[in-house]
């Protein structure tokens, strides 16, 4: 090898090592969603696609999920560093596993209201919660609305409900077939799934939990105790980048769906755009969210939810609201100002 070749190879090796060290500075974060790559996933996929996480010196990988309970468990196990899950599922994990060494914590509120609702077809004659007494309801056993139904039932004096369990893809099909009288589910999931099965939106009765006395919070960003303890700066950087991306998504949901399609090429773009818009309107930019501030919680409301979940879920120990919520990583007020004025 001559002197010139030697210099070239040394330069190439140096450039490679500089590139690797620059990449190594980006903190890897494995993140799991609560569900499939559907419209609402844009809240996380858009900041990734726009490079906001990378700009924050993070190397974030985002995987689809199969329910909030699974997400909480996987973050607790260390398989994932952070995730997106229903706050009630996180509370249940804490209260049922008091001695678990690794209990994830909620670090940011995203769905300020639970998206859960009871849905029925108008032809069933069900118009109000009172009409549900004595009826046959259906949902997967882990469905957030089904788990929290005792809270809804207590608030509305509903009694003698019979439950039928099924896999998620069968829920809306069984309602359309008449096998059950009503279902529980996230409004923006089940309503559009019913439409996909040929039911018109105007033929569906929707009884949203927040409109019928249920003040539960919905989904939050969660982080593993290891992440919180060993890399608090990365948690903070993640939330800042996420808030920046969420602002873009809320401002232009139609554009954000392209980032979901990039992850799942077979999605129905018009349907997922509507699903995302419905999620924004009902649980992200809701009156409660605007009153409390995006990303944040109200202390007394959190305490009430902890008590209600303890009772409804029959947990081994009572939920301690202070143990499940950590607001110290939230971005500045200016960064959290992502909700457009109504």
pLDDT tens-place string over residues 299-330: 999 999 999 999 999 999 999 999 999 999 99
Give the residue among 56, 61, 81, 54 at the shortest CA–CA distance from 240.
Answer: 56
> Which of 12-21, 164-173, 229-238, 327-336 shows the lowest mean pLDDT across its residues?
12-21
Strand duo 204-208 + 116-121: pairing: antiparallel
Q: State the average pLDDT over residues 106-118.
A: 97
Q: What is the pLDDT of residue 25?
A: 85
Check: CATH 3.40.50.620 for 26-112+217-324? no
Interatomic CA distance for residues 140 and 102, integer angstroms: 27
Per-residue burial over 195-230, b = 16 or more CB atoms within 10 Å of its CB, e = otherwise = beeebeeeebbebbbbeeebbbbbbbbbbbbebbee
What is residue 21's predicted lDDT score, i.e. its pLDDT?
Answer: 46
Beta bridge partners of 121: 204
pLDDT at 294 over 80: yes
Residue ranges per domain, the chain? 26-112+217-324, 116-212
Average model confidence (pLDDT) for the chain? Answer: 93
Q: Provide the b/e sequence for 61-95 (b: ≥16 CB within 10 Å).
A: ebeebebbbbbbbbbbeeebbbbbbbbbbbbbbbb
pLDDT digits (tens, 9 = 90+) for 234-260: 999 999 999 999 999 999 999 999 999
Residue 12 pLDDT more than 60?
no
pLDDT at residue 1, rounded to an integer? 58
pLDDT above 60 for 20: no
Q: Centre a 10 Å sphere on the Cβ of residue 1 and count the other Cβ atoms it contains.
A: 8
Superfamily of chain region 116-212: Periplasmic binding protein-like II (3.40.190.10)
Q: Name which of 22-36, 93-107, 145-159 the model is least confident about.
A: 22-36
Give the separation between CA 298 and CA 217, rounded to whole angstroms.
Answer: 10
pLDDT digits (tens, 9 = 90+) for 47-88: 999 999 999 999 999 999 998 999 999 999 999 999 999 999
Q: Is the pLDDT of residue 335 over 70?
A: yes
pLDDT mean over 219-245: 98
Percent of the chain with pLDDT over 90: 92
Whether residue 341 is predicted with pLDDT greater than 90 in this model: the reply is no
pLDDT average, residue stretch 107-126: 97
Say whether 27 sits in a helix, a strand or coil. strand
Q: Is the pLDDT of residue 4 over 90?
A: no
Quick check: do 26-112+217-324 and 116-212 share a fold?
A: yes
- Predicted pLDDT of residue 251: 97
pLDDT of residue 48: 98
Work out the percent of the chain whose per-residue pLDDT is above 70.
Answer: 93
Instruction: Supply angle C-alpha 150, 153, 159, rounded to 5.
Output: 105
Position 22 confidence tier, pLDDT thresholds 50, 70, 90: very low
């Amino acid at each position: 090898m001559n002197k010139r070749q030697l210099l070239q190879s040394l330069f190439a090796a140096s450039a490679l090592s500089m590139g690797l060290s620059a990449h190594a500075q980006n903190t890897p974060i494995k993140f799991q969603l609560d569900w499939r790559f559907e419209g609402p996933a844009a809240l996380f996929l858009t900041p990734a696609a726009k490079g906001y996480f990378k700009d924050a010196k993070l190397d974030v990988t985002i995987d689809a999920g199969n329910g909030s309970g699974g997400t909480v468990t996987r973050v607790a196990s260390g398989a994932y560093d952070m995730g997106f899950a229903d706050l009630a599922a996180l509370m249940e994990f804490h209260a049922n596993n008091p001695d678990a060494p690794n209990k994830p914590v909620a670090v940011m509120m995203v769905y300020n209201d639970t998206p859960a609702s009871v849905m029925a077809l108008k032809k069933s004659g069900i118009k109000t919660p009172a009409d549900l007494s004595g009826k046959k309801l259906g949902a997967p056993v882990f469905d957030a609305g089904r788990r929290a139904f005792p809270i809804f039932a207590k608030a509305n004096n509903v009694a003698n409900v019979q439950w039928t369990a099924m896999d998620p893809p069968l829920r809306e099909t069984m309602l359309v077939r008449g096998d059950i009288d009503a279902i529980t589910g996230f409004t923006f999931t089940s309503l559009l799934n019913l439409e996909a099965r040929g039911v018109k939106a105007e033929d569906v009765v929707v009884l949203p939990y927040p409109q019928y006395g249920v003040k539960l919070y919905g989904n939050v960003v969660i982080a593993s105790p290891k992440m919180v303890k060993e890399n608090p700066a990365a948690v903070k950087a993640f939330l800042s980048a996420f808030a920046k991306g969420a602002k873009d998504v809320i401002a232009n949901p139609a554009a954000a769906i392209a980032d979901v399609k990039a992850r799942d090429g077979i999605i129905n773009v018009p349907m997922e755009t509507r699903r995302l818009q419905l999620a924004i309107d009902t649980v992200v930019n809701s009156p409660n969210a605007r009153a409390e501030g995006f990303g944040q919680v109200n202390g007394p409301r959190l305490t009430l939810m902890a008590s209600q979940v303890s009772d409804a879920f029959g947990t081994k120990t009572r939920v301690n609201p202070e143990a499940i919520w950590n607001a110290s990583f939230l971005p500045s007020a200016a960064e959290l100002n992502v909700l457009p004025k109504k």
